[in-house]
Amino acid sequence: MLACPVIMKKTDRIISGRILPGAADPPHQVSFFSLNKEDERKVILKAIFKGENWMQKKQKNLGQKFWVFVFFLGALFFFQNNACAQQNSSPQPPVAFPALYYGTVKTEAGQAVASGVVKAFVEGKLCGELPFLNGCYGVPSWDPYTPRLLVYSKEDLSGKEVNFEVTVNGQAYPARTAPPKVIWESKAKQQVDLIVVTTGQGTLPAAFGDLKGHWAAGAAQQAIDTGLFKGYEDHTFRPENLLTRAEFSALMARILVLGTEKPEILANLSDASDIPAWAQDSVAASVYAGLLKGYPEENGKVSFRPNKPLSRAELAAILGRVLNPAPDVQQSLKAPPAGFVDQEQIPAWAKEAVALIVQKGILKGYPDGDFGPFKEVTRAEAAVALERFWKVLTES
């Protein structure tokens, strides 16, 4: 008897050395068992014929495995060399945390420069730059979302002087600083006001030309420098523009650092969809803080009226809520201050607030003796009132 490979079908079964036929499937497996001599020749021929195809496939598989093995060796060699190179190289020192700067950009005559780029240099190397608009960069300083001028380098800058340059319309100008000398320090947050030197290089485009000679120019410029007010893209302030309730909400959110509240707080307002996207967070924060209130409507709902100009009575009421006098002071404010011709026109809900605000010198009457409770507030009037309000708030 000869032991020889035999081609079996997938559904064949082996019982007591015999093959039981199954369904017609292609051969897939070879087994060994005893055969009689008559069948040996046929089986051997079939096995040899099958073996030729098997060898061809085997050679193909071996070729594929060979190239996979070569690729694996190459990858292993690359990563080993890379790891060795990293081990042999010296570790890089960590980059120090940047210094942060913000401030104003003005000409030697004190005018705000319209726009450009502030650049910072240390030992002649550029270490930071930031675009500016309407004479300010990186303000308001208290707003965490306002970009600052970040100054840093891979090298250690500790104790080195920082020099500034201002680029306007592609022309670079040296800038003096206030304070006169700026020394780099990691994590420092410092106000650095820049005075652009233009000796013999022409005149820089100035911002806020519409404030020149205006009675509120000083307060308006101070509000701009601190980032409380922002100018328009055409570099104007527009001091006589009326201030809307949405705009005043933004001012209060900035000056009191109210942060932001989710606009969902405004869901109870019937006209919440009318609030501009840029003012929604500020309005939400002001409403949440109880500074601004809505108008009751006949249907029981409340409207905010974001685009309605702010009245002097409303301005007094809002600032009065912030100052929130002590009970003994409140008692003395029950009677509004005498002297206003239109005193009887002051709404009952604003009388105590008007008394407090006038007493503090934040608001004053007009030359004709009127307080003007329903007179609408301009941007210039708001800038002056908020400058006085801030002094009262910080000195109390």
CATH of the domain at 155: 2.60.40
Phi, psi (deg, nearest 5) at residue 131: -65, 150
Q: Is residue 250 scored above 90 in pLDDT?
A: yes
In a domain, 205, yes or no: no
Can you give the pLDDT at residue 4? 43
Backbone angle region of 320, left / alpha / beta, with phi > 0 → left and psi within -120 to 50 → alpha: alpha
In a domain, 269, yes or no: yes
Can you give the pLDDT at residue 147? 94
Distance separating alpha carbons of residues 60 and 151, to the nearest angstrom? 62
Domain boundary (28, 58, 88) is at: 88
Kindly state whether residues 370 and 287 are assigned to the same domain: yes
Kindly state whether residues 363 and 246 are assigned to the same domain: yes
Distance separating alpha carbons of residues 281 and 274, to the nearest angstrom? 13
Kindly state whether residues 371 and 307 are assigned to the same domain: yes
Q: Tell how strand 99-107 and strand 193-196 pair up.
A: parallel
Q: Is pLDDT larger for residue 325 or for residue 365?
A: 365
Can you give the pLDDT at residue 199? 83
Domain that holds residue 259: 217-395
Band (pLDDT 50/70/90 cuts) for residue 25 is very low
> Which whole-number Å values give the CA distances from 72 to 75, 78, 88, 386, in the listed order?
5, 10, 24, 72
The residues pairing with 18 across neighbouring beta strands, listed in sequence order, are 15
List of residues 6+ apart from 391 with CB closer than 8 A: none
Q: What is the mean pLDDT of residues 254-283?
A: 87
Can you give the pLDDT at residue 144? 81
Q: Is residue 27 scored above 50 in pLDDT?
A: no
Band (pLDDT 50/70/90 cuts) for residue 14 is very low
Q: Is residue 287 scored above 70 in pLDDT?
A: yes
Band (pLDDT 50/70/90 cuts) for residue 17 is very low
Band (pLDDT 50/70/90 cuts) for residue 339 is confident
Residue 30 CB: number of other CB atoms within 10 A?
Answer: 14
Kindly state whether residues 188 and 61 are assigned to the same domain: no
Q: In this predicted model, what pLDDT tens digit does every residue of 75-125 receive, in sequence order?
A: 555 555 554 445 555 555 566 899 999 999 999 999 999 999 999 999 999
Contact 146, 139 (CB under 8 A): yes
The residues pairing with 353 across neighbouring beta strands, listed in sequence order, are none
How many independent structural domains does the chain possess? Answer: 3
Secondary structure of residue 71 in the 3-state scheme: helix
Query: What's the full length of the chain, in residues?
Result: 396
In a domain, 208, yes or no: no
Kindly state whether residues 261 and 369 are assigned to the same domain: yes
Kindly state whether residues 304 and 330 are assigned to the same domain: yes
Q: What is the mean pLDDT of residues 248-265?
A: 85
Band (pLDDT 50/70/90 cuts) for residue 337 is low
Phi, psi (deg, nearest 5) at residue 338: -80, 165
> Which whole-number Å values give the CA distances from 395 to 88, 294, 318, 360, in the listed order?
62, 31, 19, 11
Kindly state whether residues 116 and 238 are assigned to the same domain: no
Distance separating alpha carbons of residues 283 and 102, to the nearest angstrom? 27
Can you give the pLDDT at residue 39? 52
Can you give the pLDDT at residue 74? 61
Band (pLDDT 50/70/90 cuts) for residue 396 is confident
Can you give the pLDDT at residue 65? 54
In eight-state DSSP terms, residue 345 is: G
Q: Is residue 68 scored above 80 in pLDDT?
A: no
> Which whole-number Å values give the CA distances from 35 to 3, 11, 16, 30, in the listed order?
7, 20, 13, 14
Can you give the pLDDT at residue 73? 56
Phi, psi (deg, nearest 5) at residue 166: -120, 125
Both tokens of 249, joined, read: 């909400």
In a domain, 277, yes or no: yes
In a domain, 204, yes or no: no
Kindly state whether residues 305 and 364 are assigned to the same domain: yes
In a domain, 201, yes or no: no
Q: Which residue has the tokens 């292609």?
A: 26
Can you give the pLDDT at residue 12? 43
Can you give the pLDDT at residue 90? 53
Domain boundary (58, 88, 118) is at: 88
In a domain, 31, yes or no: yes
Kindly state whether residues 284 and 334 are assigned to the same domain: yes
Kindly state whether residues 283 and 365 are assigned to the same domain: yes
Can you give the pLDDT at residue 338? 55
In a domain, 210, yes or no: no
Give the CA dihedral 291, 296, 301, 306, nearest 10 degrees. -50
List of residues 6+ apart from 10 with CB closer than 8 A: 22, 23, 25, 26, 28, 29
Kindly state whether residues 68 and 108 are assigned to the same domain: no
Domain boundary (39, 66, 88) is at: 88
> Which whole-number Å values give the CA distances from 337 to 347, 364, 368, in the listed order?
14, 11, 16
Share of the chain above pLDDT 90, in %: 60
How is 217-284 classified by DSSP, letter by letter?
HHHHHHHHHTTSS---TTS---TTSBPBHHHHHHHHHHHTT-----GGGGGGBTTGGGS-GGGHHHHH
Kindly state whether residues 63 and 122 are assigned to the same domain: no
